[in-house]
Amino acid sequence: MMKLSQLEIGETGIVKEFTDLEMSVKLMEMGCLPGEEVRISRIAPLGDPIAISVSGYQLSLRRFEASTIILQ
Amino acid sequence: MKTNIRVALVGNPNTGKSTLFNILTGLNQKIGNFPGVTVDKKTGFCTLPDGRTAEIVDLPGTYSIYPKSKDESIVFSVLADKSKGMVPDLVVVILDASNLKRNLLLYTQVADLKIPVVVALNMVDVSDKAGIKINIDLFAKKLGVPVVPISARKNTGIDKLKSAIAFANSVPLQQDTIDIESIAPGIIAQIKGEMQVENPYVALQLAHQHETLSYLSTAESDRIEQLEQEHSFHSQKAQATETIARYNFINDLLYDTVKKAETAHDETISNKIDKILTHKVFGFVIFFAILLFIFQAIFSWSAYPMSLIEDLFIWLQAGAAKILPAGPLSSLIIDGVLAGLSGVLVFIPQIAILFALISILEDTGYMSRVTFMMDKVMRKVGLNGKSVIPLIGGFACAVPSIMSTRTIENWKDRMITIMVTPLVACSARLPVYTLLIALVVPNRNVWWIFNLQGLALTAMYVLSIFSAVIVAFVMKFILKARERGYFIMELPVYRMPRWKNVIFTMYDRSKTFVLQAGKVIIAVSVILWVMKSYGPGDRFAQIDKQYAQPQYTKTMTPDSLTKVIASEKLENSYAGVFGHVIEPVIKPLGFDWKIGIALISSFAAREVFVGTMATIYSVEGDADKMQSVQQKMHEAKNPQTGEPVFTLAVAFSLMMFYAFAMQCASTVAVVYRETKDWRWPAAQFAYMTALAYTASFIVYHWLK
């Protein structure tokens, strides 16, 4: 089971599901939903949060939040 | 102005909504409040091609109709609350053509409220370049609403949008998007029936948002709560189901209306900039360099306009003294009102420069990178990456900074940010610091380049940041979290600042500052003037009588006699009596009763200090030149010991007091406005005063 938080910079994955209902609602509103391709575009200087590119724009989220996203 | 049609502007953040609003309304706009809430309501007027006038309301940018922050919660209220007559006749939904999928989520939600809709498809020039081909006719046909391609930045398509607004139908014609009733059939049907709500989506939103909607009565809200129990309605599950259904609809819609060119992920300019600005090392270096630049700019650029304003007031006061007959009225106008006004207006250059620079940082998209870089550090001390913006703004003024905390979604993070922002050294402390530092710190260089006075001032600024961080860290353990914190935030593409917007923000914020602080300061200066000019009982008459006796009139020159009478009167005025009453409390801090008067009057606003010092020590006119205030304070001697009053220990003790104490009525008022609970400003006032007293006490006894 691969989590989004395990990817390195530049790696891509496709969202499969979420482990946290509350977080999933917020992520989906921002266009990060099952079937969507995500790519880690950068990591903050102190290692957290991270920025991903999803559905054509950049989204920043904390590592913990990224760990609730399961990839295919 | 008489309006024929009311239009609301709705859209995601960073889609050019504000730019469009500015184009449609020009400078013909005003900022007010939505009834019952403190969210800014920007309205403006726009003349339509058919000669009618449209009132345009700019609603806060949001990704969905489900609110995540205080600002966003207004969107649904405005669109659904029929009772206050705020519901618009037409909604213009602005969509970013280069990011249609996410933008359409909000569109489908708004469309389902069944208010007539016009779509403004913005940034078509950008999406064209990115190889996104949109079949606009088919797109409009599928949605059932007019779709107008525009570019707000390049000012194209605006006339077409205006005609679309003018000729829009008064009945909603949009296609249904998803089957709403199936999401929660039982509760929707019951709310529709019981609360006379026709629209199923409004009914569903009432079920979701009833706890935060101010327009529902307690009885209605309780009834909905009861219905939720009966139908075992789970808000988040329902929202997840709805969101997925909406995206299915959107995917179908985009499938045959939008064609994307298959391009490899090539490096965009924005990405290249990000590589430098969020770099592990350079990221922070650049951030601190920018902060340094801002401080430098605030102090050096404002020096000239500030001295101009000061000179203007000295000229006005001198002029008024010539024209007005001497007496209490002229004294009230010159020493009370004009002196007070000059104290406020002199800050305009600093405030304006700071707001201009901050709005440039926000406009370019750099601020969100700062939040991104600082989130981890800020979280350690109980704050949030987004707290950085109010804290930086705190260097100018806590009032707008505390208002800007509305973007922090998490309740606990927001409260801690509000509680510590007034600790940051705001511009009102600057004149107090400069005056006192110039008084006791020698103006010479150490280690070749560092000026001692400059170092002392820098130390006060560093201290303010440290104290804010430490207090935040303590509060992290005191406050209980109400909900989980999260940090899901868009990092918008870098862009050039919109200069008109920067100038407008600068103008608007400075105006708010002058009006808010100005009222308080004028009131305080008038009260202070009255307290200083009159005394209890017949004390003043007694003084006059005493000094009319020959042993004084014969032995003293008329000049020194007036001086003695004036200082006797000050000591016996209401202000003097009050200063003596509090003297025992502040004596351990090294302050005498004169400083006590300044201290107490500064609780209205810190910048009152310089004026009060000037008034108290202005026994012989010439109250408003900094130099002369400094001179007089320098010469002030303790009557018992003959030692100077302002020693190093007293000056630094005073600075500590000003660094920590909550001496700002406007901040107290804005904290109440933002928290809607008197206990917050009360707690803030108490902890800051306690901190101020302790710090002053320690510093005084250490340096004495």
At B635-655, the pLDDT tens digits run: 777 777 778 888 899 999 999
Per-residue pLDDT at B32: 65
- Tell me what the mean pLDDT of segment B251-277 comes to: 80
- Tell me what the mean pLDDT of segment B65-94 comes to: 85
Q: Write the pLDDT tens digit of every residue in B404-450.
A: 888 788 889 999 999 999 999 988 888 889 889 888 888 777 777 77
Q: Do B99 and A56 touch (CB under 8 A)?
A: yes
Reading the block at residue B446, the tokens are 């150490």
Residues of chain B found within 8 Å of residue A45, distances taken between Cβ atoms: 278-281, 283-284, 373
Reading the block at residue B505, the tokens are 């923000």
Interface residue A48 vs chain B (CB under 8 A):
yes
Helix axes of B158-166 and B17-25: crossing angle, nearest 10 degrees: 80
Interface-testing mutation among B276, B367, B376, B493, with chain A (most A C-beta atoms within 10 A): B376
Beta-bridged to residue B582, according to DSSP, are none
Per-residue pLDDT at B267: 63
pTM above 0.95, yes or no: no
DSSP-assigned letter for residue B485: -
Please give the angle made by the CA atoms of B477, B483 and B485, to the nearest 5 degrees: 75
Minimal Cα distance from A43: which residue of B?
Answer: B278
Interface-testing mutation among B62, B288, B491, B494, with chain A (most A C-beta atoms within 10 A): B491
Per-residue pLDDT at B31: 67
Per-residue pLDDT at B625: 47
Pair B155, B38: CB distance under 8 Å: no
**Residue B478, Cβ neighbours under 10 Å: how many?**
10
Residue B594 has pLDDT above 80, yes or no: yes
Q: Do B486 and A48 touch (CB under 8 A)?
A: no
Interface residue A8 vs chain B (CB under 8 A):
no
- Give the residue among B704, B532, B557, B699 at the shortest CA–CA distance from B623: B532
Q: State how far the Cα of B661 lies from the Cα of B681, in Å rounded to an integer.
A: 13
DSSP-assigned letter for residue B336: I
Confidence of residue B332 (pLDDT cuts 50, 70, 90): confident
Per-residue pLDDT at B620: 47
- Give the residue among A27, A20, A34 at the shortest CA–CA distance from B66: A27
Classify strands A69-71 and B29-33 as parallel, antiparallel or unpaired. unpaired
DSSP-assigned letter for residue B333: I
Residue B622 has pLDDT above 50, yes or no: no
Q: Do B279 and A45 touch (CB under 8 A)?
A: yes
Q: Write the pLDDT tens digit of every residue in B503-560.
A: 887 887 788 777 766 777 677 778 878 888 888 888 888 888 888 888 887 777 777 7
- Give the residue among B103, B98, B14 at the shortest CA–CA distance from B365: B14
Backbone angles phi, psi at B632, to 5 degrees: -65, -40
Per-residue pLDDT at B448: 72
Per-residue pLDDT at B588: 93
For chain B, domains (ranges, CATH) are: 5-166 (3.40.50.300), 185-260 (no CATH), 522-645 (no CATH)
- Give the residue among B190, B323, B313 at the shortest CA–CA distance from B614: B313
CA neighbours closer than 13 Å in the CB half-sphere of residue B666: 26
Q: Write the pLDDT tens digit of every residue in B36-48.
A: 555 667 888 999 9
Confidence of residue B265 (pLDDT cuts 50, 70, 90): low
Q: State how far the Cα of B234 lies from the Cα of A21, in Å rounded to an integer.
A: 11
Per-residue pLDDT at B628: 61
**Residue B616, Cβ neighbours under 10 Å: how many?**
26
**Residue B512, Cβ neighbours under 10 Å: how many?**
18
* Sequential DSSP letters for B296-349: HHHHHHHHHHHHHHHHHHHHHHHHHHHHSPSSHHHHIIIIIIIHHHHHHHTTHH
Q: Do A59 and B265 touch (CB under 8 A)?
A: no
- Exposure string for B661-688, b = 16+ CB within 10 A, e = fewer: bbbbbbbbebbbebbeeeebbeebbebb
B92 in helix, strand or coil?
strand
Q: Write the pLDDT tens digit of every residue in B465-477.
A: 999 999 999 999 9
Arithmetic mean of pLDDT over chain B: 85
Report the percent of chain B where pLDDT is more than 90: 29
Q: Write the pLDDT tens digit of every residue in B356-413.
A: 888 898 889 898 999 999 999 999 888 888 898 889 888 878 887 888 888 788 889 9
Q: State how far the Cα of B402 lies from the Cα of B387, in Å rounded to an integer.
A: 10
Reading the block at residue B672, the tokens are 């109440």
What does the CA dihedral B531, B533, B538, B542 come to, rounded to 10 degrees?
140
Sort B243 into a burial class: Cβ within 10 Å, 0-12 / 13-18 / 19+: buried
Q: Which of A58-72, B540-554, B659-673 has the highest mean pLDDT?
A: A58-72
Confidence of residue B614 (pLDDT cuts 50, 70, 90): confident
- Host H or E run for residue A40: strand A37-43
Among the residue ranges A38-47, B82-91, B145-154, the one predicted with the least confidence is B82-91
Per-residue pLDDT at B37: 57
Q: State how far the Cα of B220 lies from the Cα of B224, in Å rounded to an integer.
A: 6
Residue B335 has pLDDT above 90, yes or no: no
Chain Cα centroid distance, residue B371:
17
Q: State how far the Cα of B171 lies from the Cα of B89, in Å rounded to an integer.
A: 9
Q: Do B486 and A62 touch (CB under 8 A)?
A: yes
**Predicted ipTM of the assembly:** 0.95
Per-residue pLDDT at B35: 58
Residue B623 has pLDDT above 50, yes or no: no
CATH of domain A2-71: 2.30.30.90
* Sequential DSSP letters for B20-53: HHHHHHTT-EEEEE-TTS--EEEEEEEE-TTS-E
Q: State how far the Cα of B670 lies from the Cα of B73, in Å rounded to an integer.
A: 20
Per-residue pLDDT at B422: 95
Residues of chain B found within 8 Å of residue A29, distances taken between Cβ atoms: 63-64, 66, 105, 243
More confident residue, B513 or B193: B193
Pair B415, B472: CB distance under 8 Å: no
Q: Do B278 and A48 touch (CB under 8 A)?
A: no
Where do runs of H (alpha helix) occur along B57-199?
Answer: 73-80, 100-111, 124-129, 136-143, 158-166, 185-194
Interface-testing mutation among B237, B250, B368, B488, with chain A (most A C-beta atoms within 10 A): B488
Report the percent of chain B where pLDDT is more than 70: 94
- Exposure string for B245-283, b = 16+ CB within 10 A, e = fewer: bbbebbeebbeebbeeeeeeeeeeeebebbeebbeeeeb
Total residues found in chain A within this entry:
72
